[in-house]
Amino acid sequence: MTRPFPQEARDALADPVLRANLRAATDTIRAKRAVAVAEVGDWEELREAGRAIKADVLANLERYLIQFEAAATRAGATVHWASDAAEANEIVLRIARSHDVEEVLKVKSLTTDEIELTAALQAGGVSALETDFAELILQLDGDWSSHILVPAIHRNRTEIRDLFRRTIADETLEDDPAQLAEASRRFLRKRFLRARMGVSGANFAIAETGAICVVESEGNGRMCTTLPPVLVSVVGIEKLIPTFGDLEVYLQLLPRSSTGERMNPYTSLWTGVTAGDGPQELHVVLLDNGRTRVLADEVGRAALHCIRCSACLNVCPVYSRTGGHAYGSVYPGPIGAILTPQLIGIEKAPTLPFASSLCGACYEVCPVKIDIPKVLLHLRAKAVGAGGHPGERAVMETLAWTFGDRRRFLAATRLGRVLQRPLARRGLIRRLPPPLDAWTRTRDLRPLARQTFREWWGRRP
């Protein structure tokens, strides 16, 4: 069970450096995205296409998965099926061991973070090195991702310089971005050249051809997917798209929504094994890990449409203040608030669906039109149905009963006016007992009116 979101958020909100780092970064990406999206005349049609393709995939997932397996196998890949994290990790470890590999290189991948592959490999005596610049920073620091696209968004470059000085560079390193990138390049290059096994996730898996697609900005991913002779890709089953042609839609939607770029810098696609070119042994691990349970929920399944662009994080007024760690999952922000409780079970993350003011900014920017507020409400109802908070339930039921009749409502208002008398001073309530002090600790409250509208209306001439 993750720690309740409100407690995690409180710690994050109290950290001024974190707040400044987050605000600067989310503001920048948000502005870039807005410009990149405004350029596209048929953006709404693209979004609809992105949604419709995913809806089709989910409605016919079994057929597409079997089609993918057949096509990938024909092309020379070995396809594995993993029902949960443990199975997937075991498959990857087995492959590493079969080649006596002691170090694998990782492409930035949320799916492998979700199953905690690095720790599982470590436990099996295989070390896994992150090669994405930000993921490397986090690994060197023993930290974890707080953003889908920019995992080290909570770190600024001075902090990164200090970390690199401690780990992979010397004291002459400055916090100039080019110098920091160069330090990581020197560190990684040797490892790319000696690596014997790469591990990736997938942005898309094409059912028609059995191809895997990974999009990234640095080229380090491509190093991992082309240099080592063995490559394993861990693919969530919702990552399928029917045809190569469907990439056209997503390769427009994804970069503009995520980095605010017109085109993605490094788009790698590979289909099976090609003699003399790239990895000569290719594995694909198709991962469920809770996804079929999400799929069974007619409202909640929309979360499986997600293409991991992170636009919803950058516009979210909650995420942009608390950061990603508060969500207690590799999937933070609004999408995490609807995906995590479904993947791991609502009883293990009951506060996440409530970590939103329902402002709707996420839905507005989602490139595949996931109605996040609607799914949040659906999950809130589930959380309440699963037990919720007994005290709260009593209050909500009493309120519903009170609102069920105008006389009861008026009587309650009049009672409230009497009760609030010692609390209201000069037209304001400045202090209330728990749990209502959650409001008055930081905000004044307007008391109930001396004359309600209803009373005024009744006395009109």
Partner 1 sequence: MRIALFITCIGDAVRPEVGRATTAVLERLGHEIVFPAEQTCCGQMHFNSGYRSEGERLARRFGEIFGDCEVIVSPSSSCVGTMREHDPSLAGRLFELSELLVEKLAVTDVGASFPHRVAYHPTCHSLRVTRVGDAPLRLLGAVEGLELVDLADASECCGFGGTFALKNADTSTAMVVDKCTAIEASGASVVTAVDSSCLLQIGGRLSREGSPVRTLHLAEILATE
Question: Interface residues with partner 1 (CB under 8 A)?
Answer: 5-6, 9-10, 13, 317-318, 321-322, 351, 353-361, 363-364, 377, 380-385, 388, 392-393, 396-397, 399-400, 402-406, 409, 413, 416, 428, 430, 435-436, 438-439, 441-449, 451-454, 456-457
Contacts 24+ apart (CB under 8 A), 13-17: 13/321, 13/322, 17/156
In the numeric block, the tokens 């990406």 are attached to: 29
Shortest spacing between CB 435 and partner 1, in angstroms? 7
Q: Which is nearer to partner 1, 219 or 387 (CB)?
A: 387
Shortest spacing between CB 217 and partner 1, in angstroms? 27
Instruction: Please write down the HEC assignment for all residues of 250-277.
Output: HHHHHHHHHCCCCCCCEEEEECCCECCE
Distance CA 175, CA 190 (A): 23
Shortest spacing between CB 37 and partner 1, in angstroms? 15
Asked if 58 and 304 touch (Cβ cutoff 8 Å), the reply is: yes
Shortest spacing between CB 315 and partner 1, in angstroms? 9
Q: Which is nearer to partner 1, 176 or 455 (CB)?
A: 455
Shortest spacing between CB 351 and partner 1, in angstroms? 8
Q: Which is nearer to partner 1, 59 or 428 (CB)?
A: 428
Asked if 443 and 429 touch (Cβ cutoff 8 Å), the reply is: no
**Secondary structure class of 110 (helix, strand, coil):** helix
Shortest spacing between CB 339 and partner 1, in angstroms? 18
Q: Are strands 428-429 and 424-425 parallel, antiparallel or unpaired?
A: antiparallel
Buried b (16+ CB within 10 A) or exposed e, 133-144: bbbbbbbbbeee
Asked if 31 and 41 touch (Cβ cutoff 8 Å), the reply is: no
Distance CA 389, CA 173 (A): 52
Beta bridge partners of 287: 82, 236
Element (DSSP H or E) covering residue 120: helix 117-123
Q: Which is nearer to partner 1, 185 or 425 (CB)?
A: 425
Q: Which is nearer to partner 1, 194 or 430 (CB)?
A: 430
Q: Which is nearer to partner 1, 177 or 391 (CB)?
A: 391
Shortest spacing between CB 386 and partner 1, in angstroms? 10
Q: Which is nearer to partner 1, 13 or 251 (CB)?
A: 13
Shortest spacing between CB 50 and partner 1, in angstroms? 20
H-only helix segments in 302-357: 311-315, 319-322, 333-344
Shortest spacing between CB 6 and partner 1, in angstroms? 5
Q: Which is nearer to partner 1, 275 or 400 (CB)?
A: 400
Q: Measured between alpha carbons, how far is residue 310 from residues 244, 342, 365 in Å? A: 23, 18, 10
Q: Which is nearer to partner 1, 98 or 403 (CB)?
A: 403
How many residues can be counted in the chain? 461
Q: Which is nearer to partner 1, 182 or 397 (CB)?
A: 397
Distance CA 376, CA 447 (A): 31
Shortest spacing between CB 359 and partner 1, in angstroms? 4
Asked if 238 and 149 touch (Cβ cutoff 8 Å), the reply is: no
